[in-house]
Amino acid sequence: MTPESAKVFCGPGLAEVCETVGIPPVLHMGSCVDNSRILLAATEVVKAGGLGNDISDLPAAGSAPEWMSEKAISIGHYFVVSGVYTVFGVTMPVSGSPVFEDYLYNKLEDLYGGMWDLEVDPIKHAQKMIAHIDKKRKALGIDKARERVLMDMSDRRELEAA
Amino acid sequence: MAAEEVKKVVAKKVKEPPRPEDLALDVASQQMITRSREMEIETIFDRAQTMKPCNIGAQGTCCKNCSQGPCRLPLPKGGIEGEDTRKGLCGATAHTIAARNFARMVAGGAAAHSDHGRGVAEAFLAAARKEVDDYHIKDTKKLLEIAPDYGVDITVEGKDGEILDRDIDEIAVEVGENALAQFGQQNGEVCTTLRAPKARVDLWRKLGVMPRGIDREIVEIMHRTHIGVDQHYENLVEQCSRAAIGDGWGGSMIATDLQDVLFGCPYPVKSSANLGVMKEDHVNIVIHGHEPLLSEMIVQAAELPEMIDLAKKNGANGIQLSGICCTANELLMRHGIPLCGDFLQQELAIITGAVDAMVVDIQCIMENIATVAQCFHTKIITTNPRARIASGDTIHIEFDEHTAFEDAKKIVKTAIENFPKREKEVMIPDERHDLIAGFSYEAVEYHLGGTFRGTYYTLNDNIINGRIRGIGGVVG
């Protein structure tokens, strides 16, 4: 949660952006009612354009690795129905009903574009979030790295002719 | 078997308590767990060893919503092949029961957030109407930004058709009234939900899950999960969606909005965290709970010269405020007040022997802090009529928004006067970590483009070009 940590812990892409903008890679957004700030930030990202029309289109994922209270379940559910893939850690008190569990973890995606998941292992937990982000990048057609090419007028003419 | 051999077997079976380093990664917590054992004070770390979770409850398939049960429907170890014939006495299936229990958790969570939001809305309206002296409309920029979302005009047409700015107090009163109305509204849509992207609002309308009123959807969960009402797990989840949207895009969002207007929208601030933020030679007041209404006043009260003088008279070098749980975050991001600990550290903070008062309001306050405090001089001060503690020996100084500053002064004074009563040796772990907090979505927008080009474009562009893979939201 310090700007300096970006260079130590992040990949080169994120580290570069953090250094340029001057922000830490992990942004503290506040208390539990301030989860609403994440919803609004996600909405701003949608509005800024280029990443789909809805929160469910964004390459984004939610996580509560050490959730504890009923409040977390409410938060989890409003993230899911807002279109966010949301992974919880520790446990989920739904394992006694495989049908209901499947409804939360899989079927809800068809309705809301977001769904619940449970992963206790922190590494696998993160990998599941990354896999979802990659899935969304692919759907947006931004899964392959693209180099920025400086175009001059003759290149543009060629493009237009084609 | 001879008696001595039996003793040996028994002695072998008594398990050694786990090492503190196996219970917590954090060094400060390890040190305090060790100290708690030396002093024979029981904490959550000890109770977690003896209290094993109920297997059926953990699966979500225990139903105790009527007197015929509780009906327990555990899933057999090998799972179920073929038809699932498990049923409670009324015939409720495991799916219905798991969905009911899940729904009641959503109701509990949404109620907690939203009742917090209601409290803020009430204080906000009192401030807007100038019925209270201690709260004021501080962030007028944010007020003007949010007003249209609450259906409040910020301009008015003059006599000659010119557009004039409306009076800020008038706007504030209307925003407060409309915010408060969202809780008890019976029909229509909670106004702040319309801030979601259009595609999302359209989807919610299509699915019929737009919340009609914040409270109504929570009450309806309690109704539907009563015996013999909603016995379709998909239908129950649909009601969960209404209540949860009413929380995240309603009650919680209203709380955040109005807190920002009352106390200022957060912008990045440097601070530090962990038990080491407390100071041995200072009066340590730990503020624990969730609402910023009271804690904002305590911050002001602790800065008063008369309070600092009083602290010095009582032998301290000053007053050190720190926070636990969400109140900590509210103070951290608006004032840079350090974070003393998280939920699991609330007992450990007292075990340092340095806490002169722990002031609590609502949510996530462990009853056992009152018992731990009895081993020290620490005073536990409850402040909210909703949240009293029977254990231990707590003081109740009820906080009222009309007398907020006076209440806060009383609390700070109680802490200061308790400073000379420290009996046990103080042991504050030398652990604290720097951090930057306070990235409201407005602050993120500012950082990405400044006032010059305030937009999330920079983030989107870097996600599209692949420097940033995506966004992860982590909730504690």
| Cis? peptide before B70, omega within 30° of 0 | yes
Q: Could you report the per-residue pLDDT of B89-137, keeping only the tens digit for each? A: 999 999 999 999 999 999 999 999 999 999 999 999 999 999 999 999 9
Q: In the predicted model, is pLDDT for residue B1 greater than 60? A: no
DSSP for A17-51, written as a single string: HHHHHT--SS----SSTTHHHHHHHHHHHHHHSSS
Q: In the predicted model, is pLDDT for residue B10 greater than 60? A: no
The mean per-residue pLDDT over the stretch B380-388 comes to 94
CATH number at residue B287: 3.40.50.2030
Q: Do A78 and B248 touch (CB under 8 A)?
A: yes
Q: Could you report the per-residue pLDDT of B315-355, keeping only the tens digit for each? A: 999 999 999 998 888 999 999 999 999 999 999 999 999 99
User: Do B347 and B410 share a domain, yes or no?
Assistant: yes
User: Do A37 and A23 share a domain, yes or no?
Assistant: no
User: Do A25 and A44 share a domain, yes or no?
Assistant: no
CATH number at residue A127: 3.40.50.2030
User: Do A83 and A24 share a domain, yes or no?
Assistant: no
The mean per-residue pLDDT over the stretch B388-414 comes to 94
| pLDDT (0 to 100) of residue B176 | 97
Structure tokens at B222: 């309690």
Q: The pTM is what?
A: 0.92
Q: Is residue B63 part of a domain?
A: no
| pLDDT (0 to 100) of residue A20 | 87
Please report which confidence band the pLDDT of residue A145 belongs to, taking 50, 70 and 90 as the band edges.
low
Structure tokens at B15: 């398990």
Q: Total domain count for chain B?
A: 2
8-state DSSP, A141? T
Q: Which residue has the tokens 């005009």?
A: B153
Q: Do A43 and B94 touch (CB under 8 A)?
A: no
Q: Is residue A60 part of a domain?
A: yes
**Would an 8 Å CB–CB cutoff place B208 in contact with chain A?**
no
Q: Is residue B30 part of a domain?
A: no
Q: Could you report the per-residue pLDDT of B176-228, keeping only the tens digit for each? A: 999 999 999 999 999 999 999 999 999 999 999 999 999 999 999 999 999 99
Please report which confidence band the pLDDT of residue B476 belongs to, taking 50, 70 and 90 as the band edges.
confident
User: Do A49 and A71 share a domain, yes or no?
Assistant: yes
Please write down the HEC assignment for all residues of B126-139: HHHCCCCCCCCCCC
**Contacts with B440 from chain A: Cβ below 8 Å:** 29-30, 34, 37
Q: Is residue A78 part of a domain?
A: yes
Q: Out of A39, A44, A72, whose CB is closest to B109?
A: A72
Distance CA B307, CA B412 (A): 8
Q: Could you report the per-residue pLDDT of B82-93, keeping only the tens digit for each? A: 899 999 999 999
| Cβ B294 vs Cβ B361: under 8 Å | yes
Domain span at residue B234 reads 94-263
Percent of chain A with pLDDT over 70: 94
Q: How far is A36 from chain B (nearest CA, A)?
A: 5
Q: How far is B99 from chain A (nearest CA, A)?
A: 7
Percent of chain B with pLDDT over 90: 83
User: Do B195 and B169 share a domain, yes or no?
Assistant: yes
User: Do A67 and A103 share a domain, yes or no?
Assistant: yes
Q: Is residue B27 part of a domain?
A: no
Cβ within 8 Å of B, A 49-68: 49-51, 53-56, 58-68
Q: Do A31 and B330 touch (CB under 8 A)?
A: yes
Q: Total domain count for chain A?
A: 2
User: Do A70 and A23 share a domain, yes or no?
Assistant: no
Q: Is residue A161 part of a domain?
A: no
Q: Could you report the per-residue pLDDT of B272-315, keeping only the tens digit for each? A: 999 999 999 999 999 998 888 889 999 999 999 999 999 999 99
User: Do A18 and A70 share a domain, yes or no?
Assistant: no
Q: How far is B97 from chain A (nearest CA, A)?
A: 8
Q: Is residue A159 part of a domain?
A: no
Q: Is residue A81 part of a domain?
A: yes
Angle formed by the axes of helices B457-464 and B441-449, nearest 10°: 70
Please report which confidence band the pLDDT of residue B12 belongs to, taking 50, 70 and 90 as the band edges.
low
User: Do B192 and B285 share a domain, yes or no?
Assistant: no
**Contacts with A91 from chain B: Cβ below 8 Å:** 58
Q: In the predicted model, is pLDDT for residue B3 greater than 90? A: no
**Would an 8 Å CB–CB cutoff place B55 in contact with chain A?**
no
Q: Is residue A160 part of a domain?
A: no
Please report which confidence band the pLDDT of residue B48 belongs to, taking 50, 70 and 90 as the band edges.
very high
Strand-pair category, B71-72 with B62-63: antiparallel
User: Do B297 and B311 share a domain, yes or no?
Assistant: yes
User: Do B242 and B296 share a domain, yes or no?
Assistant: no
User: Do A73 and A116 share a domain, yes or no?
Assistant: yes
CATH number at residue B243: 1.20.1270.30
User: Do B287 and B391 share a domain, yes or no?
Assistant: yes
User: Do B275 and B384 share a domain, yes or no?
Assistant: yes
| Closest of B334, B382, B351 to residue B278, by C-alpha | B351
Q: Is residue B361 part of a domain?
A: yes
Q: How far is B316 from chain A (nearest CA, A)?
A: 31
Please report which confidence band the pLDDT of residue B2 belongs to, taking 50, 70 and 90 as the band edges.
low
| pLDDT (0 to 100) of residue B9 | 58
User: Do B216 and B277 share a domain, yes or no?
Assistant: no
Average pLDDT score over chain B = 93
Q: Which of B233, B263, B293 lies at the terminal end of a domain, its last residue? A: B263
Q: How far is B20 from chain A (nearest CA, A)?
A: 19
User: Do B217 and B200 share a domain, yes or no?
Assistant: yes
| pLDDT (0 to 100) of residue A144 | 76
User: Do A132 and A120 share a domain, yes or no?
Assistant: yes
User: Do A37 and A20 share a domain, yes or no?
Assistant: no
| pLDDT (0 to 100) of residue A146 | 60
| pLDDT (0 to 100) of residue B422 | 95
Q: Which of B210, B231, B263 lies at the terminal end of a domain, its last residue? A: B263
| Cβ B315 vs Cβ B326: under 8 Å | no
Tell me what ipTM this predicted complex has. 0.91
User: Do A40 and A91 share a domain, yes or no?
Assistant: yes
User: Do B227 and B345 share a domain, yes or no?
Assistant: no
Q: Is residue B190 part of a domain?
A: yes
Q: Is residue A109 part of a domain?
A: yes
Domain span at residue A24 reads 1-29
Please report which confidence band the pLDDT of residue B5 belongs to, taking 50, 70 and 90 as the band edges.
low
| pLDDT (0 to 100) of residue B445 | 86
User: Do B152 and B273 share a domain, yes or no?
Assistant: no
User: Do A61 and A91 share a domain, yes or no?
Assistant: yes
**Least confidently predicted of A3-7, B259-263, B305-309, B388-392:** A3-7
Q: Could you report the per-residue pLDDT of A15-68, keeping only the tens digit for each? A: 998 988 889 999 999 888 999 999 999 999 999 989 999 999 999 999 999 999
Residue A53's DSSP bridge partners are: none
Please report which confidence band the pLDDT of residue A1 belongs to, taking 50, 70 and 90 as the band edges.
confident
User: Do B332 and B382 share a domain, yes or no?
Assistant: yes
Q: Out of B60, B458, B473, whose CB is closest to A94?
A: B60
